[in-house]
Structure 1
Amino acid sequence: MLALAAVLCWSTVASAFKLSLQYLTPLQLVSIASVVSALFMLGAIIWQRRAGEIRASWQRNYRWYIALGFCNPFLYYLTLFHAYKLLPAQQAQPLNYTWGVLLALLSVPLLKQKLRRQDLLAGAVCYSGVLVIATGGNLLGLEFDEPLGVALALLSTLIWSCYWLLNTRIGGNAAVNLFLTCCCGLPWLAGATIWQGWGEPWQWPPLAGWLGALYVGLFEMGIAFLLWQAAMMTCDNTARISNFIYLSPPLSLLLIALLVGERIQLATIAGLALILLGVAIQQGALKRLLLRSGG
């Protein structure tokens, strides 16, 4: 139930991103949501009676927290929200979902892990799905409707993968780590806001924008994370709940159609199917499924 609740939260955020960006700039959305997330995580840490770990964790890993804060929330969400600003939500969401395969490929040179054939196959299948979505199914013409948006969505997967690779260097409580990382991202966001204000003064968002940013900060950057963490700690076999992740993209597309009002294109469905297949190959899920069926 905890895992399904987390997946349901994640399934709503693509719609929340797109709707919120109607009232906020990407910088406003990530700034407000990051403050909300930091406050929520601080409350969760106090509730867990782990406030004493904050200072010790900072003293031990402050250099890593500064680097992580630059990656996330500053650079990652700023890049991702710009992609959502340029692309339909039905395209940005599946493209962002390819980060898992990219993470496996990057772990080869950065973590000195062995490159497997299934990693190469997964990458080929996954990025063929990216090509289908980016071209709207026009593979022969190779015409991209919004090449900058596609590039930003793919760049966000690179930033997110680097964030998790850096995150492997830090131990300790996950909520404490996320709180300190978020706090280290706030000065970068403040600096970007001041710099942007020289050419374009800050516009006070309408109530709908504040509510959207509050939702993103609570659910995308807070509640879903703690729900998933609790699910991982509660279960006796993480493989049983890891497959729930595959429910998020289809549910997200359904909510995009219902809430945002986008008409889901056949190319998006086909591309998403290829991306999910690539992720399944990379995780070995397809191999396990074939073994169970006697294939």
Structure 2
Amino acid sequence: MKKEYLYAGTSVLCFGTVATVSKLLMNQLDALYVLAFSFLFATLFLGVYNWKKGFLCEVKKLTARIWIRMILIGSLGVFFYNYFLLLGTARLKAQTAFVINELWPALIILFSCWILKEKMNPGKAAAVIFSFLGILVVTTDGNLAEFSLGDSRGVFYALMAAVCYGMYCTLNKKEIYDKNLSVMISYAAGTITAFILVLIQGKLTIPTGSQVAGMLWNGIICNALPYLTWALALDLGNTAVIANLAYLTPFVSLILTHFVLGEKITVFSVLGLVLIVTGIIIQMIVNKKMEASEI
């Protein structure tokens, strides 16, 4: 097996555990408490990686302006994204929260048109429409006529997670700073923020062994490791081919939530995912034809 597919497969499997691990942790702990320790483990892991690769020496060259931009933009994709996703997962079935979160690629399209002034085309429009239809099917359990969202607050949190990550990816497109350092710094800032908030709430207690294991998994396997393996996969392989493998993640997540959490895989979860992926496939086909016509 080629290394790029091994790295990409690792990322898909790691990201696929997010919904299950989040649900298990939120059954026992507060969201900020989970983030504090998970981010700490992620920061340590990324710190060791950057040190081994010799990237840490570049930190002292960063200007105050770059530090601020790294932390502010990074907080969207690290702190707020994970915080809202945990809150949504606590109130919804894990598979529902994760499928709603898959709205972020469509939001990147919308935010890119708004912020980066990229042009909308039929492929992008199809991806957005199919994504929103998929989310509606999942959140209403297929009952579009009566439009009942079930736990509306849980849906709101999961949607906000998608918004934060979509905005993070869009804003990051404009930045030229080192992404390895920016992610590490984002996790470090998130760690400090989460611990301060936990201390203010007076909820800082010693976690049990199983809780440490869960937060260690969440910090490294769900966050830090797949980021690195995904970056390596994109560097080694064909970007378009590797990027398409990301759409296997929600299906892996559905399987894990079923066998680990005992959640029944609903027809509406699968249908919602199929609609979302269909939109992305249409976008890819239309974009490829448009690029070919321009040659």
Tell me the amino acid that sits aligned with residue 157 of structure 1. Answer: A
Tell me the amino acid that sits aligned with residue 128 of structure 2. Answer: G
Cα distance change, pair 58–181 in 1 and its aligned pair in 2 (3 A): farther
* Residue in structure 1 matched with residue 231 of structure 2 by the alignment: 229
- Structure 1: how far apart are the matches of 2:100 and 2:179? 26
Structure 1 unaligned spans of 5+: 290-295
Tell me the amino acid that sits aligned with residue 217 of structure 2. Answer: Y
Question: Any residues of structure 2 matched to 1:173-184 within 5 Å, and which?
Answer: 173-184=178-189
SS in 2 for 1:136: coil
Whether contact under 8 Å (1:11, 1:252) holds in the other structure is yes
* Residue in structure 2 matched with residue 270 of structure 1 by the alignment: 271
Q: Percent identity?
A: 27
Tell me the amino acid that sits aligned with residue 230 of structure 1. Answer: L
Name which of 207, 213, 220 aligns with 1:218: 220
Task: Compute the displacement of 1:136 (Å).
Answer: 1.1
SS in 2 for 1:214: helix
Q: Deviations over 1:27-83 (max 9, x none)?
A: 111111111111100000111122211221354611202312432422221111000
Tell me the amino acid that sits aligned with residue 5 of structure 1. Answer: T
Equivalent residues, number: 284
Whether contact under 8 Å (2:37, 2:191) holds in the other structure is no
Structure 2 unaligned spans of 5+: 1-5, 290-295
SS in 1 for 2:17: helix
Question: Any residues of structure 2 matched to 1:76-155 within 5 Å, and which?
Answer: 76-155=81-160
Task: Compute the displacement of 1:205 (Å).
Answer: 3.1
- Structure 2: how far apart are the matches of 1:52 and 1:126? 42
Tell me the amino acid that sits aligned with residue 241 of structure 1. Answer: I
* Residue in structure 1 matched with residue 250 of structure 2 by the alignment: 249
SS in 2 for 1:23: coil
Whether contact under 8 Å (2:137, 2:143) holds in the other structure is yes
Please identify, of 125-134 and 206-215, the stretch whose mean Cα deviation from structure 2 is larger: 206-215
Name which of 38, 41, 55 aligns with 2:43: 38
C-alpha RMSD of the superposition = 1.9
Cα distance change, pair 80–58 in 1 and its aligned pair in 2 (3 A): farther
Task: Compute the displacement of 1:162 (Å).
Answer: 1.4
* Residue in structure 1 matched with residue 71 of structure 2 by the alignment: 66
Whether contact under 8 Å (1:80, 1:153) holds in the other structure is yes
Q: Deviations over 1:197-249 (max 9, x none)?
A: 2xxx33443322211110010012211111011111112x2112111112111
